[in-house]
Amino acid sequence: MTTTLPTVVNVGADLLADAVASQAVDVTRVAWQPPMPGTAADLATVAADPLRPAANQRALEATLAVTARLVDVVPAAEALGLQAGEFLHAGPPITWDRASGPLRGALMGGAALEGLVGTPEEAAALFESGSSVSLAPCHSRSAVGPMAGVITPSMWMFVLEDTDTGRRTYCSLNEGLGKVLRYGAYSPDVLNRLSWMSGVLGPLLQRAVRMVRDTTGPIDVTGILTQMLQMGDEAHNRNRAGTLMLMRDLAPAMVTSGMSSADIAEGFRFIGGNDHFFLNLAMPACKLALDAARGIEGSTMIVAMARNGTDFGVQVAGTGDEWFTGPAQLADGLFLGDYGPEDANPDIGDSAITETAGIGGFAMATAPAIVRFVGGSVPDALATTRRMHEITLGENPRWSVPVLEFQGTPTGIDVTKVCRTGILPQINTGMAGRIAGVGQVGAGLVTPPAEIFPKALARLAEVARAR
Amino acid sequence: MRTHVELRSGAYADSVTLLQVSRKVQDIDGILAAQVAMATELNIEVLTEMGFDVPADATANDMVVALRLDDPDALAAALAGVDQALRDVNRRDSGPTELAPPRTTAAALRRAPGGIALVSVPGENAFVEAMDAIEAGSDVMVFSDNVPVQQEVRLKEYAAERGLLVMGPDCGTAIVDGVGLGFANVVAPGPVGIVAASGTGCQQLLALLDHAGVGVAHALGVGGRDLSSDVRGLSTHAAMDRLDRDPAVELVVVISKPPAAEVAAGVREHAGDLDTAVELALLGPGQPDLTAAAERILARLGRPVPDWPSTGTAAAPSGGTLLRGFFVGGTLAAEAKIIATDLLGADAGHTFIDFGDDAYTTGRAHPMIDPTLRLEHLAQAATDPDTAVLLLDVVLGHGAEQDPVALLAPALARIDKPIVVAVVGTQADPQGLERTVEALADAGAEVHLSNAAATRRAVELVEAASR
């Protein structure tokens, strides 16, 4: 035993902490509260699972070990083998009849973009009939999509690769803000922009990305994330520094791509004018990291949080590809123009993959510039990031927050810790209009529905008992 | 007369705190009865028995405020009183840090690595917190009772894998490196290392050794079930090894009720393998009492056995035939019963109540903290013509009532029957051993340091009364 006085952590009756403190011993007091209703037995079962500690350590380490590199830009048909009539969407699986306005709008726009119908309005009947079209979550095809997350075969995708394992993830190119397909808008200017992205931006980026890849090596997206988190981006609702760094890295290759100077200039103008362009690299980088933890038996770490505008779903490392879902919530935040809460659709998008990986809302402390945009204050932002450490397995040593003394971002959401503390993951999000075709109406903060965590916990307990 | 019941969802305080609140509220004018409690199954039962109607949708996460008023107009003042009492008990200077307190033991140990965890949350939640400590590489004391035995075994097996110590569950007393945890007396460092499956048994030993001038290096509690055939002495073995490795320890003392035969054999065998001498003090019918054990320990250390002190003289018996023993210490009650039964015969109607037993602590704090129930029984027994002698214990030390004689001495002074009290305390205990003994003697009690001696004296008085 040691010769120095021990320190004590007290959880439970304050009186016992007082008794220790009266002996001039340091006491750290846990502000304990009962767990979410009905979870005590499952929490004990999962805590007793002999696989859990090592499994969680492995899941966290595997996630942190991944370096995502941008290796290619190709159409979804080529990258994912997506066939005509196949539509990917954000969030857990959903059918047309349950799809929300913005998801329907994006699917209708996507159908028109692919030439399956003459106008987006005609597509409603096509999806209602269900013949010759099919819906599947992006996550089921190693992809992620922001907001509605609709991916069709002709859309160009970023391809990210983990050099060590060769695993890949994919994400479409970001269209910008306002009236855009991912927010459910499908007007002609939306479709024209998408056509230009497929015809010009995609090929331009492909040439540039391949040229960089083949000369100086592929761009290290994880490394850019490291830097942007120190430059005021949290990589979900603020991607300004990341976007500029990407452009810096690609610019020489874009200029020498052999495309017309007008197209190159338009490409620069488009990327430079879209502060969220890098989001579509941050998301697949996060997915690539988290996918490394998928399927680790006994792990209680969440590997995906995603919403389809109707349901919020999570997937957990120790429970395979099963989704645990509940109703998507309305975000709390600020609205554009005359829009108000009644215009907003419930939470939508795969972009909560950033929070799942420890950035976005989890790294709010590093992005004070946007706290007002999502309706908060700087102290709130610091408190949020600190609070997220209560429900995560560890910290990311690469992604650090200067204002918190370079503490690593809170990484690896633990289902058991969410159930124990009742602290829900904090997500920064954009808000889509609830009517198909409207587009973005605001941005704010949102949390998952609480009940999905006890559901996931119950399955983890069931699996542990069966072992 | 009217009743008022309200639910406060999301409000939480531990049962000891709420007990203090309930007591304060009861003192408000116009209130006949008040109970502020978390709506656990048990508390709902208590409330229902008190005649309160608890809404069916109440969960353990809701706080119930139940009031019975003799004046309906007093409600507003009463509710204001509840709010004030809740605010008062929660008021604590959080210091210069703006950090929110940790919410789990794991989070607390991340902030204070290497600390000993002290767990006293409700039994169904204790395992999860204790596992946090083991996972973080910390020893843990589990004060909580009602922890399922299979959880105790899992916890102790996991601790054994990691070379850590689990003290408890249902461990009331420990001293680690001189720091008292739970109910612990203040002792000087010394050559004795105690492994105790009994909290108050350990405290009696600490008090007697202190009087004999022998200090204690560590007193490691293991929980009352540790030496059962289910738990197989897992913590006893770990604690023996721990003490064996400490060069300050010259004699290891193991105190326990008689263990399961095969477990006892294992402990004996283990004792033989240690470099340090081991004294097994097994309690129970036909076994030496705690005082005899203390004398054996002193003999093995080559130290003189002092006279065990007594102060004051009990009043002469004035009728009655029965010995009424009212104890706060379980082992002290058991010891008194064994000694008295041996001398007076079984089934003679003498009573030995342990107010720390689950039957008396549901819905209230341990009698070492809250003396109310024992005082009520005492007053009743004092007026019972069958009562010949009253036998009590008073346990001092950290964690126990700050001034146990404040209410007890005046109560005893009003009683004309003979009263014998065992005061279990050390010279340096915060309540003041001398002051306590004198106050009780002044109130007419005869006070012993040895519970066995107090019991024998009480038996003598019973025999005198019946002559």
Q: Does A9 touch chain B (CB under 8 A)?
A: yes
Interface test with A, best of B9, B16, B41, B125 (most A CBs within 10 A): B125
Which two structure tokens, joined as six digits, stand for B243? 């003490």
In the listed set B267, B300, B333, which residue is the last one of a domain according to the structure?
B300
Q: Does A84 touch chain B (CB under 8 A)?
A: no
Confidence label for B336 from pLDDT (cuts 50, 70 and 90): very high
Which of B17-31, B105-119, B445-459 shows the lowest per-residue confidence on average (mean pLDDT)? B17-31
Q: Which of A85, A89, A68 is nearest to A77 (CA)?
A: A85
Confidence label for B90 from pLDDT (cuts 50, 70 and 90): low
Q: Where in chain A is the domain with CATH 3.90.1710.10?
A: 67-283
Do residue B274 and residue B331 come from a single domain? no
pLDDT at B76 (0 to 100):
86
Q: Do B103 and A17 touch (CB under 8 A)?
A: no
CATH superfamily for domain A52-63+293-466: v583 domain like (3.90.1700.10)
Residue B193: inside a domain: yes
B319 has pLDDT over 90: no
Q: Do B102 and A31 touch (CB under 8 A)?
A: yes
Q: Tell me the residue range of the domain where B36 lies.
A: 2-90
Residue B318: inside a domain: yes
Using an 8 Å CB-CB cutoff, list chain A residues near B107: 30, 389-390
pLDDT at B349 (0 to 100):
92
Residue B259: inside a domain: yes
Closest residue in A to B217 (Cα) is A1
Question: Which residues make Cβ contacts (< 8 Å) with residue B400, sequence separation at least 6?
Answer: B183, B368, B369, B431
pLDDT at A324 (0 to 100):
98
Confidence label for B424 from pLDDT (cuts 50, 70 and 90): very high
Q: B169-183 burial string, b = 16+ CB within 10 Å, else e? A: bbbbbbbbbbbbbbb
Q: Do B125 and A40 touch (CB under 8 A)?
A: yes
Residue ranges of alpha helices (H) inside B280-403 are 290-300, 330-344, 358-361, 372-382
B15 has pLDDT over 80: no
To 5 degrees, how large is the angle CA A403–CA B132–CA B126?
A: 125
Closest residue in A to B241 (Cα) is A1
Do residue B133 and residue B254 come from a single domain? yes
CA distance B461 to B467: 10
Which fold does the domain A67-283 belong to in CATH?
Answer: Enterococcus faecalis V583 fold (3.90.1710)
Q: How many CA atoms lie within 13 A of A152 on its CB side?
A: 22
- Shortest CB distance from A13 goes to which of B16, B98, B104? B16
Q: Do A31 and B103 touch (CB under 8 A)?
A: yes
DSSP summary character for residue B259: P
Q: Which of B179, B261, B170 is nearest to B221 (CA)?
A: B170
pLDDT at B296 (0 to 100):
97
Q: Do B99 and A386 touch (CB under 8 A)?
A: yes
Do residue B144 and residue B58 come from a single domain? no
Q: Do A1 and B124 touch (CB under 8 A)?
A: no
Interface test with B, best of A5, A7, A9 (most B CBs within 10 A): A9
Residues of chain A with pLDDT under 50: 1-2
Do residue B200 and residue B240 come from a single domain? yes
Q: Do B99 and A420 touch (CB under 8 A)?
A: no
Q: Which chain A residues in 400-439 lie under 8 Å from chain B, judged by CB atoms? A: 416-417, 420-421, 423
- Shortest CB distance from A8 goes to which of B118, B158, B184? B118
- Shortest CB distance from B179 goes to which of A5, A29, A416? A5
pLDDT at A13 (0 to 100):
93
Do residue B131 and residue B86 come from a single domain? no
Average pLDDT, rounded, for chain B? 92
Residue B100: inside a domain: no
Interface test with A, best of B93, B104, B165 (most A CBs within 10 A): B104
Do residue B35 and residue B109 come from a single domain? no
- Shortest CB distance from B108 goes to which of A5, A28, A53? A28
CA distance A409 to A400: 6
Q: Do A1 and B242 touch (CB under 8 A)?
A: yes
Say whether B183 sits in a helix, a strand or coil.
coil
The more confidently predicted of residues B331 and B12 is B331
Radius of gyration over every alpha carbon of chain A, rounded to an integer in angstroms: 23
Q: How many residues does chain B have?
A: 467
Residue B414: count of CB within 10 angstroms of its CB:
11
* Cβ-contact B242, B160 below 8 angstroms: no
Separation in Å, CA of B291 to nearest CA in chain A: 27
Question: Tens digit of pLDDT for each residue in B255-275?
Answer: 998 788 899 999 999 999 999
CA distance B443 to A250: 91
B343 has pLDDT over 80: yes
Separation in Å, CA of A353 to nearest CA in chain B: 24
* Cβ-contact A447, A409 below 8 angstroms: no
In the listed set B238, B267, B300, which residue is the last one of a domain according to the structure?
B300
pLDDT at A75 (0 to 100):
98
CA distance A438 to A102: 8
Question: Which residues make Cβ contacts (< 8 Å) with residue A25, sequence separation at least 6?
Answer: A5, A6, A7, A8, B179
Separation in Å, CA of A464 to nearest CA in chain B: 14
For A76, the enclosing helix (H) or strand (E) is helix A76-79
Residue B281: inside a domain: yes
- Shortest CB distance from B120 goes to which of A2, A3, A13? A13
pLDDT at A335 (0 to 100):
82
Q: Do A33 and B103 touch (CB under 8 A)?
A: yes
Q: Which chain A residues in 57-76 lie under 8 Å from chain B, judged by CB atoms? A: none
Residue B99: inside a domain: no
CATH number, position B239: 3.40.50.261
Which two structure tokens, joined as six digits, stand for A14? 């304050």
Do residue B162 and residue B81 come from a single domain? no
pLDDT at B179 (0 to 100):
95
Separation in Å, CA of A49 to nearest CA in chain B: 9
Q: Do B131 and A47 touch (CB under 8 A)?
A: yes
Question: Tens digit of pLDDT for each residue in B125-179?
Answer: 999 999 999 999 999 999 998 999 999 999 999 999 999 999 999 999 999 999 9
Residue B283: inside a domain: yes
Q: How many domains does chain B have?
A: 3
Do residue B240 and residue B387 come from a single domain? no
Do residue B131 and residue B172 come from a single domain? yes
Using an 8 Å CB-CB cutoff, list chain B residues near A299: none
Q: Do A5 and B109 touch (CB under 8 A)?
A: no
Q: What are phi and psi of A355, to 5 degrees?
A: -65, -40
Q: Do B103 and A40 touch (CB under 8 A)?
A: no
Q: Do A6 and B115 touch (CB under 8 A)?
A: yes
- Shortest CB distance from B181 goes to which of A14, A20, A29? A20
B16 has pLDDT over 80: no
Q: Do A28 and B430 touch (CB under 8 A)?
A: no
Mean pLDDT, to the nearest integer, of B81-103?
Answer: 71
Q: Do B177 and A2 touch (CB under 8 A)?
A: yes
Environment class of A336 (CB within 10 Å of its CB; exposed 0-12, middle 13-18, buried 19+): middle
Using an 8 Å CB-CB cutoff, list chain A residues near B101: 29-31
CATH number, position B77: 3.30.70.60
Q: Do B16 and A33 touch (CB under 8 A)?
A: no
Do residue B289 and residue B335 come from a single domain? no
Q: Do B12 and A34 touch (CB under 8 A)?
A: yes
pLDDT at B95 (0 to 100):
39
pLDDT at B164 (0 to 100):
97
Q: What is the value of ipTM here, to two decimals? A: 0.92
Do residue B294 and residue B146 come from a single domain? yes
Residue B97: inside a domain: no
DSSP A330-348: PPEEEESTT--GGGBPP-E
Using an 8 Å CB-CB cutoff, list chain B residues near A20: 118, 179-181, 398
pLDDT at A337 (0 to 100):
78
Q: Where in chain A is the domain with CATH 3.90.1700.10?
A: 52-63+293-466
Do residue B83 and residue B133 come from a single domain? no
In the listed set B255, B281, B300, which residue is the last one of a domain according to the structure?
B300
Separation in Å, CA of A30 to nearest CA in chain B: 5
- Shortest CB distance from A47 goes to which of B122, B128, B398? B128
Which two structure tokens, joined as six digits, stand for A232? 């005021």
